[in-house]
Structure 1
Amino acid sequence: MFRSPLPDVVIPDVTVYDFLFGSLAEADRERCALVDGPSGAATTYRELQARIDAVAGALAARGVAPGDVVGLHATNSVEFVVVFHAILRAGATATTVNVMATASDLASQLTDSGATTLFTTSALLGQAREGAAAAGIPDERVIAIDGADGHPSLDELLAEQHAAPDVTIDPATHLAVLPYSSGTTARPKGVMLTHRNLVANVVQCGDLVGIEDDDRVLAVLPLFHIYGMTVLLNMALARRAALVTMPRFDLPEFLRTIQDEKCTLVFIAPPIALALAKHPLVDSYDLSSVHTMTSGAAPLDGKVGAAVTERIGCRMRQGYGMTEMSPVSHVIPLDRDDIALSSVGITIPNVECKLIDTLTGAEIEVPAEGVSEPGELLCKGPNIMVGYLGNPEATAATIDADGFLHTGDIATVDADGLVTVVDRLKELIKYKGYQVAPAELEAVLVSHPLIADAAVIAGRDAEGEEIPKAFVVLQAGAELDGDDVIAFVAERVAPHKKVREVAMIDSIPKSAAGKILRKDLRALEVVA
């Protein structure tokens, strides 16, 4: 086993709300907490806390209490932050929903999580209402944050001026959030993260990520995703910085917001890094305020990262994690210019790791010098999830008897404790930072009457980024081309889950037990 080269940190035994706002000093109350990127409107810490308390009171007045689950289906905004923390302040559990989710996706997540209330926006109300209705949530429990006929609005909840409820919960066991993750292979599952999990990860990473109270942190990555939720939202607030929200990524607006709001620390995913490295529009904006960009959610190519550093003149860092780890387990610290971007950095404090041989299960030794043999990365610490909601089998397959979470990623560690992820054991595809489960797409593909069998793997686009690629076996005598297959899937899944490339083959390679041999499909790609 190996641990962080840094000493353990003390993790306070408090709720997320108490951690962020319980120690809010009077001097900090007039500091800027949030900036709406499109309009520039600012919200102070005093105003933010008051709105959170009022919405928590309105939820309690509607019967929301500890043990209840509330859905949040919205793009990044000041209102998202208010609602998210109000749910937790009321003692309930927030299940955040991808804004690209279909009505079917929504219904599945709301039903599985047991959500009784849903917050959404007018722009997303169509699929939200349909998904909520399928999950048994009536219209009066679907709250349109920005207002819509027939639905309560956030302004109405605030106007009720209810006091925040007095709730007593155990931070170590009470679920704060239920984000949905595909784990290593299968359909999305509810990841049970406690208040302690979320607080721990902020404390573990705070000094390494290096957000300070004079930073202006850009939140273009979605706050419904655990990366945005912990590293951007909660960490910025904990460090008393200002968080600048953007509802979606649009390159000109992204560049304008950095320039006009003088953002200093920007968290991105690799596709944004690629745009920053190559797009000519970048040179039209003043990005000199940025001192650091940190990439996560998917592997960053070292050459792309170096190109961003050279072009913008900022530091580039990379981190690693997964939803099941709240999410961070490794990061290149702000003060470590000596660590190459090919690495994901050091293990964060309070986390134990080990590498195991994927064939034998034997532990791989940390070398006295040089780099270890590759093995699956396992992690254990206070940021590791409780388990998957209602799925003890999947939990047992992911967290072993010793409490180590099996990440499904193959990594090496060197004598200095630097970890490098070199391959993926898990089948999950990362498309522009979003999780795409092959099994989900395969189920859609084989529902086509002309498709006899199908398999999906991670292909590569012209820029080297992962894309969902389908291998399809047609029924005897059937006529279907790749464009037909792509269109069929696109009508049935969220945009980020669409198949981007199709190959027709005679049969899907499978093991004697019927498991798809994806390594054989990857070998076909190499031959092609």
Structure 2
Amino acid sequence: MDSPAVPAPRTPRVHRSEYADVPVVDEPIHEAVLARSTASHPDAVALVDATDAGASATTTYAQLDARHRKLASALVASGLRKGDVLALHSPNSVLYPVVFYGASRAGAAVTTVHPLCTAEEFAKQLADSGARWIVTVSPLLDTARRAAGLAGGIQEIFVCDRADGHRSLVHDLLAGAAPEPARPAPDPVPIDPAEDVAVLPYSSGTTGVPKGVMLTHRSIATNLAQLHPLVPMVPGDRILAVLPFFHIYGMTALMNAPLRAGATVVVLPRFDLDQFLRTIERHRITGLYVAPPIVLALAKHPAVARYDLSSIEYIVSAAAPLDTRLAAACSARLGLPPIRQAYGMTELSPGTHMVPLATENPPPGAVGKLLPSTEMRILRLDDTDRDAEPGEEGEIAIRGPQVMKGYLRRPEATAALIDPAGWVHTGDVGRVDDDGWLYVVDRVKELIKYKGFQVAPADLEALLLTHPAIADAAVIGVHDTDGNEVPKAFVVRGPGADLGVDEVMAYVAGHVAPYKKIRRVEFIDAVPRAASGKILRRELRLREKDQT
């Protein structure tokens, strides 16, 4: 009797970039970013402190290069060794790149720390990363000290400015050093770009315990080369760095990419709307890289009309979903081309998709096209590892040279994210159109399943933001008395708005299918968000749990 025929394995439906592959960049990140810019225009302004009106506000490429080399030598002389982890705990400043590239040149991996974290949160990151060194600023020193005491193992805490009992980068480690020789000295330690970790950011924790993401010199340097064809920064560009450098989006788009291109980075330590707008006007900013909350402010806030923003040539939004109507309103108000979106995740260094600046009329809602040397699959949402049909929604999976080395000391978590064929299962739901544009629908784990129907929180949030009396909103799934998961909206009223629960529910019900209706509403003072702009749904779920 013949044995039953075994079905042939399915060939994966792989989407590939329409752009030519880029060579893998096997250089340490400090060389990949600074070497060519410093050599070609050493006297050009690399960094501007937008909070300082004096002459000390600017740093040239020659000065940045010299300072990071001096700091690397000082760190090595202090006892830092290759493979050590240095925790960088600071808001944005012109010293942030000096510390990052200096530590990198000395052979350390930099774990970037949220400047507003608690001592307990900081201590967990120190202990998990195995950090031995901390660089902070005097206003945050108390938190750093308490974290170091809780974690143990910290050899020294440096401050960027000045504080009793601690060595200062400016006044001690960088002071009085001799000028660099005409030819750069060799690196203090050899670096293997393919294996050595350059930066160790921690995942946001919106869907689980924060984990150290091991990004090598090769992965982050190559990702810069992948991004360049779609968003070609050039000398003379002026980029406003208001999103935090500690987040991989800010580190890539606002620090590494513009400095690699020889552009000028104008640095702000935090987002304050009037200061942000004043800085754009004063420094004639040409490119803005932002998150959706800033797009919302630019589209709706009356203060925008008081400033001259005519120097802006383009806006890129990433890190969280951007509603198409909000994007259009912002572009129309500022008289700009359509806002470009980008897509990625920390574990992907971070970029995989970008709406090219050269595209005149990108389709609304698209987050971009595949970067060079990047592959993608759209997987069915039934856990079969089969590809979705063309145009069908599914989980986005990515493969390319920008994929992380893995989660630090978490092989099981790494294996759960990256399959044996090298595909990163992002947990994001998306679809691809016939022209290769990617549209991100939502997170797999954040989809609300109402009586078998899938409801995307991002869709409801975008709709809520169109209500003139709603300043911000977030949606999660909660359970009703029958055990059904239903959408609940957390709503921030606009200034002076008189808005009730019934009005919110009726507004949504008038615009969506019945199964997508908001079933519960709670008014709150502010939607919890990560520094990148992502909604921290986990905090809302914990809030809901505490109330039940």
- TM bucket (normalised to shorter chain) is 0.7 to 0.9
Alignment partner, residue 282 of structure 2? 260
Alignment-derived partner of residue 112 in structure 1: 128
Q: Does the 8 Å CA contact 1:184/1:407 hold for their aligned counterparts? A: no
Post-superposition CA distance 1:390-425 (Å, at most 9, x none): 101100000000000000001101111111011210
**C-alpha distance in structure 1 between counterparts of 2:478 and 2:419, whole Å:** 32
**Which residue of 325, 342, 357 maps to 1:319?**
342
Write the distance in 1 (CA, Å) between the matches of 2:523 and 2:410. 32
Q: Aligned residue for 1:379?
A: 398
Whether 1:20 aligns to 2:28 is: no
> Is 1:401 the equivalent of 2:401?
no
Query: Would the aligned equivalents of 2:231 and 2:356 in 1 still touch at CA under 8 Å?
Result: yes
* Backbone CA RMSD of aligned residues: 2.9
Instruction: Pick which of 252-261 and 84-93 moved more.
Output: 84-93
Task: Kindly provide the CA deviation profile for residues 339-379 of structure 1, in whole angstroms up to 9, marking residues without a partner as x.
Answer: 12301110100011001111042433664xxxx11110000
Contact kept, 8 Å, 2:388 with 2:394, in 1: the verdict is no
Please tell me whether the aligned partners of residues 295 and 318 of structure 1 are also in contact (alpha carbons under 8 angstroms).
Answer: yes
Task: Please say if residues 2 and 366 of structure 1, whose CA atoms lie closer than 8 Å, have aligned partners that are also in contact.
Answer: no
Instruction: Look up the match of 2:10.
Output: none
What does residue 75 of structure 1 align with?
91
Counterpart in the other structure of 1:297? 319
Aligned equivalent of 1:248, options 270, 273, 286: 270
Question: Which residue of structure 1 aligns with residue 7 of structure 2?
Answer: none
Match of 1:227 among 249, 266, 271: 249
For residues 101-142 of structure 1, the C-alpha deviation after alignment (integer angstroms, 9 at most, x for no partner) is 11111000011000000011111112111111211155x711
Identify the range of structure 1 (101-110 vs 35-44) with the bigger mean alpha-carbon deviation: 35-44
Q: Deviations over 1:65-101 (max 9, x none)?
A: 2110000010011011111111111111000001121
Q: Which sections of structure 1, spanning at least 5 residues, go unmatched?
A: 430-456, 474-481, 508-528
Cα 1:25/1:99, change in 2 over 3 Å: closer
For 1:141 and 1:239, locate their aligned partners in 2 and report how far apart those are by CA, in whole Å. Answer: 34
Question: Secondary structure of the equivalent of 2:174?
Answer: helix
TM-score by length of 2: 0.79
Match of 2:44 among 14, 31, 56: 31
Contact 1:356 1:375 in 2 (8 A): yes
How far apart, in 2, do the equivalents of 1:262 and 1:194 lie?
A: 34
Equivalent residue, structure 2, for 1:357: 380
1:239 aligns with 2:261: yes
Query: Does the Cα contact within 8 Å between 1:366 and 1:414 map onto a contact in 2?
Result: no
CA contact (8 A) 2:105 2:188 kept: no
2:362 to 313, 319, 339: 339
Name stretches of at least 5 consecutive residues in structure 2 with no aligned partner.
Answer: 1-13, 449-456, 465-469, 482-489, 491-521
Q: Does 1:3 align with 2:26?
A: no
Mapped partners of 2:447, 2:217: distance in 1: 27
Equivalent residue of 1:384, what SS?
A: coil
Contact 2:37 2:259 in 1 (8 A): no
1:301, distance to aligned residue in structure 2 (A)? 0.8
Deviations 1:133-158 (A, max 9, x none): 211155x7111111111111112110
Instruction: Give the Cα–Cα distance (whole angstroms) in 1 for the partners of residues 318 and 394 of structure 2.
Output: 21
**1:396 alignment partner AA:** A
Paired residue type of 2:131: A
Count of residue correspondences: 461
- Structure 2 distance, partners of 1:339, 1:297, is 19
Offset, 1:486 = 12
Contact 2:219–2:403 (Cα < 8 Å) also in 1: yes
Query: Residue in 1 aligned with 2:157?
Result: 142
- Mapped contact 1:469–1:499 kept (Cα < 8 A): no
Residue 12 of structure 1: how far off its partner (Å): 2.6
Match in the other structure for 1:451: none
Letter of the 2:85 counterpart: V
TM-superposed CA distance for 1:463, in Å, is 4.6
Contact 1:472–1:503 (CA under 8 A) maintained in structure 2: no
TM-score by length of 1: 0.82
Specify whether residues 50 and 505 from structure 1 end up closer, same or farther in structure 2 by C-alpha distance, changes over 3 A only. Answer: closer
1:265-321 CA distances to partner (integer Å, 9 max, x unpaired)? Answer: 011100000000000100000000000010011011111111111111223110011
Q: Which residue in the other structure is 2:474 paired with?
A: 466
Instruction: State how far apart, in whole Å, the 2-side matches of 1:300 and 1:397 are.
Output: 28
Amino acid paired to 2:48: V
CA contact (8 A) 1:486 1:500 kept: no
